[in-house]
Amino acid sequence: MSGLQGLAQENIWFDKSRYDEAEKRFYEGENGIPQTSQSQNASKSEDQSELVSRLKSLELDNKNLHKVVDDLRAVLSKLETRMAVLEKSQAPASKTVTVTKAAPVQKPKVEKHNGADDDDDDIDLFGSDEEDEEAERIKAERVKEYAQRKAKKPALIAKSSILLDVKPWDDETDMSKLEECVRSIQMDGLLWGASKLVPVGYGIKKLQISCVVEDDKVGTDILEEEITKFEDYVQSVDIAAFNKI
């Protein structure tokens, strides 16, 4: 690259076309050939100057590219050096971890014998039994604490919201007394809500009453059965809406 750059900086190569043109005009004059117009020479000179400027621009770009390549090589060299240092530093740590994990596996098995060897068998060089007992004790304490915390939390009670349509026999039925009879039904897990009279037709109105029940304690069948016991006032009971809470 240094040799090509030295040749590129020689101005004689840029002026060679001028020398060739002068030589061509000389021989044309000797042979009686008319010379080209000045406009053509001017256009050629402009083309030559444009070519020269492009070559200089390419040369500058080439220098910049070389600089970028050198910078990238320097960065790559630094990265390779850092990676080598990291690999050397991590190698001893990984070996230490492997030895630590393999130590319990390589624990020698000692058979008990009568006599003086019994004293040696009582010595535990690794202390694994005590560590196991301590770990089991800590685990039991944590399980006990978790069970106590779980027992303190209130259990989730499944509830439902029910809207009942209680229909009387006719328009002469006392609706106030009918509602009083319905609300007189009391059960564990039953809570009566709002109520209203809804016209049915021919002057007859039905009692529409809402309630909230615990699913495990009160069922819709039991509720309907209790309401229909007031047969002097109640003709039928229908479930208008049923929603889980």
**CATH number where 229 lies:** 3.30.70.60
Gap between the Cα atoms of 199 and 33, Å rounded: 124
Please give the tally of structural domains in the chain: 1
Report yes or no on 13 lying in a domain. no
Report yes or no on 177 lying in a domain. yes
Please state the pTM of the whole predicted model: 0.39
Gap between the Cα atoms of 196 and 165, Å rounded: 10
Q: What is the 3-state secondary structure (H, E, C) of 192-204?
A: EEEEEEEEEECCE
Report yes or no on 230 lying in a domain. yes
Mean pLDDT of the chain: 78
Three-state SS for 111? coil
Range of the domain at 198: 159-244
Q: Give whole-number Cα distances, 156 to 159, 214, 245, in Å.
A: 9, 11, 11
Report yes or no on 182 lying in a domain. yes
Report yes or no on 231 lying in a domain. yes
Chain segment 6-35, per-residue pLDDT in tens:
555 555 555 667 777 877 887 777 776 555
Report yes or no on 200 lying in a domain. yes
Reference 165, options 214, 95, 110, 224; nearest CA is 224
Report yes or no on 209 lying in a domain. yes
List beta partners, residue 211: 162, 192
Chain segment 185-233, per-residue pLDDT in tens:
999 999 999 999 999 988 899 999 999 999 888 989 999 999 999 999 9
Report yes or no on 104 lying in a domain. no
Which residue shows structure tokens 């006392």? 174
